[in-house]
């Protein structure tokens, strides 16, 4: 469940991001696009990793396949919007097929299996050069508009996806599907035994975790104009996205947005200048998360923290 | 029998070389309370797992309400009215007591949505006496209350047959009496009950019929007093001493 305040803050956040083209420079708009994109990926991951408790690392596979499906369709003359739809449907179908196999595994085995998928996809795309351009990558037809207009356009598209991902999350959270997924996370055998069709629910969650990643990948390809296998199937992406969701609070409705915002803001403004340290800092965040913030930023008891601070102040104050 | 609700026909299950359940046939009749006893490792839990689709029988058939359900999945069993509690309680630990039961109602029963499922859940919690602590997380409950929660959860699934796998294990005498009252009240609702139990006193007081498993085979099926005097049962399970005591107590 989510509070009105949470919903209002989310709406405000969308407005702040959506209006960047009117008051900020191109690099901020670019950051806003990336923020929206990562939010889509984190919301998506939350369905399988958060609600269902299956630690999936296949985000980069869905994203990469989406970007390639969209790019290939576009290079064959399919209009951009339609190419995005093709990418979405393709990735959803891929996730459905893969989910039926992969979701027989539990825990670590599932995690390792899902990360393997990213590598397999990358290898297939690199080797199948007749269709994908192989290691040389693919050029996607660019929009011939003014650069500022292009930036604003892709920002609003990504934000649209982000709102869809959020709305889906809020809907699932309040309905039978989300309730069943939470049952699976807490005790899969017991879920089975109260009548949850666990296989169907898990595969549904996996598809939900995939299809918008596909769309986001295709939109990204159209925006950037060039994709290659290493950029599209990044192991780093597949780790970053769960970290963002966990940072905000996995299995919560707003967690992915909060975590992504915190992560990207830190990444852009705090350590952008320490490029060599980028991965080390990611590592540190992961360690801190595991040891100090198992519930994420949204699960911290801020009230207790404030009370404690107040208590200390009054204790330290002269009588 | 015309009012039979569940029938097992020559059901067997082998795990590797072990025949955990061996050629077991019996039926349950609508509304009765049947005790299932047998030493550790006799195959009692496995039998419940075979009925609810957790394991698939190596051979034989499970017939529920006239339909062959041998190949059903656990969730299908749950939806069709075959509910069970686990020997080791299986709550959804971080969910509230209420939501644990609502899960049973939502997926195993037939309410429309979550709100309705929670309403149903409240009734079942009141029935087992947990309504006062409906909002606590399940993990905070004491063992007797966890067992009650299991009961409420399975009741919420509106079962036709309820299989209780050692719901009384680990409870003290007072708690067992309360649990037995509950079981009788469930039976009064017309639900057929198969109760697995180690404590002979408990099975004898509550069951109308007794099944005895030994090394996976069904060695007795009949009236409780007749069964506990059966020579094979005495030898396999009860021991001479118990049979004698029971006789002296005037049960025979
Ligand atoms: N999943 C399994 N894999 C392999 N062997 C199993 C499995 N489940 C049960 N067994 C074996 O089947 C036999 C019967 O076990 P079961 O748990 O059904 O006995 P039980 O009558 O319920 O015993 P208890 O009174 O201790 O609960 C045992 O030998 C057990 O080791
Ligand atoms: Mg057992």
Of chain A, the percentage scoring pLDDT greater than 70 comes to: 89
Residue A310 has pLDDT above 70, yes or no: no
Strands of the sheet containing B209-214, edge to edge, are B82-85, B161-165, B192-196, B33-37, B209-214, B217-222
Name chain B contacts of A179, Cβ cutoff 8 Å.
Answer: 99, 102-103, 106, 114
- pLDDT at position B52 is 94
Between A130 and A174, the higher pLDDT residue: A174
More confident residue, B248 or A112: A112
Q: By C-alpha distance, which of B35, B70, B31, B55 is closest to B160?
A: B31
What spacing in Å lies between the alpha carbon of B200 and ligand 1's midpoint?
20
User: If you average pLDDT over each of A2-11, A101-110, A172-181, which comes out highest?
Assistant: A172-181
pLDDT tens, residue by residue, B140-156: 999 889 989 999 999 99
Confidence of residue B252 (pLDDT cuts 50, 70, 90): very low
Q: Which tens digits make up the pLDDT trace of B93-107?
A: 999 999 999 999 999
Q: Tell me the pLDDT band of B138, cut-offs 50, 70 and 90.
A: very high
Asked if residue B18 has its Cβ within 6 Å of ligand 1, the reply is yes
Q: Is the pLDDT of residue A98 over 50?
A: yes
Count CB atoms within 10 A of the CB of residue A178: 22
Q: Domains in chain B, please, with CATH?
A: 1-81+162-225 (3.40.50.300), 93-158 (no CATH)
Q: Is B168 in the pocket of ligand 1 (CB under 6 A)?
A: no
Which residues from chain B sit within 8 angstroms of residue A174, using beta carbons?
114
Q: In the predicted model, what is the mean pLDDT of residues A142-171?
A: 93
The phi, psi pair for B195, rounded to 5°, reads -115, 120
> Do B251 and B225 meet the contact criterion of CB atoms below 8 Å apart?
yes
Q: Among A58-67, A139-148, A297-306, whose mean pLDDT is lowest?
A: A297-306
The first and second tokens of residue B248, run together, are 């002296």
Q: What angle do CA B194, B195, B196 make, to 5 degrees?
A: 125
pLDDT at A316: 41
Which residues of B fall within a CB distance of 8 Å from A183?
Answer: 92, 95, 103, 107
Segment B114-126 mean pLDDT: 92
Q: Which of A176, A182, A193 sits opposite B74 (nearest CB)?
A: A193
Q: Considering every ligand atom, which ligand is closest to the CA of B36?
A: 1
Q: Do A174 and B114 touch (CB under 8 A)?
A: yes
pLDDT, residue A304, reads: 66
Residue range A13-21: mean pLDDT, rounded: 94
Nearest residue by C-alpha to atom 8 in ligand 1: B46
For ligand 1, whether the C-beta of B41 sits within 6 Å is yes
- Can you tell me the mean pLDDT for A167-175? 94
Min distance A52 CA to chain B CA atoms (Å) = 13
- Pocket-testing residue among B44, B49, B51, B211, ligand 1, by greatest number of atoms within 8 A of Cβ: B44
Q: Which of A105-114, A115-124, A164-173, A303-312 is least confident?
A: A303-312
Residue B3 to residues A70, B51, B64, B192, Cα–Cα distance (Å): 62, 19, 12, 11
Q: Decide whether any atom of ligand 1 lies within 6 Å of the B15 Cβ.
A: yes
pLDDT tens column, A192-238: 999 999 999 999 999 999 999 999 999 999 999 999 998 889 888 99
For A123, the 3-state DSSP assignment is helix
* Chain B CB within 8 Å of residue A183 CB: yes
Chain A residues closer than 8 Å to B106 by CB: 176, 179-180
* pLDDT tier, A314 (very low <50, low <70, confident <90, very high otherwise): very low
pLDDT band at B247 (very low <50, low <70, confident <90, very high): low
Mean pLDDT of B182-196: 93
With CA atoms as reference, report the closest residue to B62 among B28, B19, B100. Answer: B28
A contacts of B91 (beta carbons < 8 Å): 187, 190
Rounded Cα gap, residues A197 and B78, in angstroms: 10
Question: Is the distance from the beta carbon of residue B56 to the nearest atom of ligand 1 less than 6 Å?
Answer: no
Q: Return the minimum-mean-pLDDT range out of A231-240, A246-255, B224-233.
A: B224-233
Task: Give the Cα separation of A52 and A245 in Å (integer).
Answer: 13
The domain spans of chain A are: 4-260
pLDDT at B111: 72
* pTM attached to this predicted model: 0.88
Q: Give, for ligand 1, the residue of B42, B51, B84, B165 to mutate: max count of ligand atoms closer than 8 Å to Cβ.
A: B42
> What is the model's pLDDT at position A203?
96
pLDDT classification of A318: cutoffs 50, 70, 90 = very low
Tell whether the model's pLDDT for residue A101 goes beyond 60. Answer: yes
The answer, for A268 touching chain B at a CB cutoff of 8 Å, is: no
Percent pLDDT > 90 in chain A is 61
Q: What's the gap in Å between A165 CA and the centre of ligand 2?
A: 45
């Amino acid at each position: 469940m989510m509070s009105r305040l949470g919903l209002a803050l989310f709406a405000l956040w969308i407005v702040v991001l959506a209006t960047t083209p009117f008051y900020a420079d191109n690099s901020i708009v670019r950051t806003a696009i990336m923020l929206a994109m990562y939010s889509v990926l984190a919301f998506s991951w939350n369905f399988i990793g958060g609600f269902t408790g299956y630690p999936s690392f296949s985000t980069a596979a869905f994203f990469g396949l989406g970007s390639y499906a969209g790019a290939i369709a576009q290079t064959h003359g399919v209009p951009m919007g339609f190419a995005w739809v093709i990418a979405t449907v393709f990735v959803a179908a891929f996730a459905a097929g893969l989910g039926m196999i992969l979701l027989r595994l539990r825990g670590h085995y599932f995690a390792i299996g899902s990360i393997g998928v990213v590598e397999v996809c990358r290898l297939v795309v690199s080797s199948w050069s007749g269709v994908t351009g192989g290691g040389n990558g693919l050029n996607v037809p660019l929009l011939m508009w003014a650069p500022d207009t292009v930036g604003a356009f892709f920002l609003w598209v990504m934000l649209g996806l982000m709102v869809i991902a959020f709305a889906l999350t809020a809907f699932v959270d309040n309905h039978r599907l989300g309730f069943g997924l939470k049952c699976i996370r807490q005790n899969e055998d017991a879920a089975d035994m109260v009548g949850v069709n666990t296989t169907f629910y898990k595969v549904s969650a996996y598809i939900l975790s995939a299809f918008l990643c596909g769309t986001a990948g295709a939109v990204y390809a159209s925006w950037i104009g060039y994709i290659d296998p290493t950029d599209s199937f990044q192991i780093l992406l597949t780790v970053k996205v769960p970290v963002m969701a966990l940072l905000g609070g996995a299995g919560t409705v707003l967690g992915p947005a909060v975590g992504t915002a915190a992560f990207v803001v830190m990444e852009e403004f705090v350590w952008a200048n320490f490029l060599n340290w980028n991965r080390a800092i990611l590592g540190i965040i992961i360690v801190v998360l595991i040891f100090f913030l198992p519930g994420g930023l949204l699960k911290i008891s801020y009230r207790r923290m404030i009370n404690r601070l107040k208590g200390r102040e009054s204790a330290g104050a002269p009588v | 029998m015309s009012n039979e609700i569940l029938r097992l026909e020559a059901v067997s299950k082998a795990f590797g070389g072990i025949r955990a359940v061996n050629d077991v046939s019996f039926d349950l009749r609508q509304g009765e309370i049947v005790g299932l006893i047998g030493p550790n490792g006799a195959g009692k839990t496995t039998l419940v797992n075979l009925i609810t689709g957790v394991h698939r029988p190596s051979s034989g058939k499970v017939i529920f309400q006239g339909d062959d359900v041998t190949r059903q999945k656990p969730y299908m069993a749950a939806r069709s009215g075959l509910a069970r509690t686990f020997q080791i309680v299986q709550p959804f630990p971080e969910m509230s007591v209420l939501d644990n039961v609502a899960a049973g109602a939502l997926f195993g029963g037939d309410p429309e949505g979550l709100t309705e499922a929670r309403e149903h859940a409240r009734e079942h919690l009141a029935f087992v006496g947990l309504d006062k602590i409906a909002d606590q997380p399940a993990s905070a409950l004491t063992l007797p209350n966890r067992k009650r929660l299991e009961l409420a959860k399975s009741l919420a699934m509106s079962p036709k047959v309820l299989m209780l796998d050692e719901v009384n294990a680990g409870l003290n005498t007072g708690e067992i009496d309360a649990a037995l009252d509950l079981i009788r009240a469930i039976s009064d609702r017309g639900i057929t009950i198969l109760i697995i139990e180690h404590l002979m006193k408990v099975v004898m007081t509550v069951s109308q019929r007794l099944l005895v498993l030994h090394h996976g085979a069904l060695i007795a099926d009949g009236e409780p007093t007749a069964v506990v005097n059966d020579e094979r049962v005495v030898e396999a399970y009860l021991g001479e001493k118990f049979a004698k005591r029971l006789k002296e107590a005037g049960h025979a």
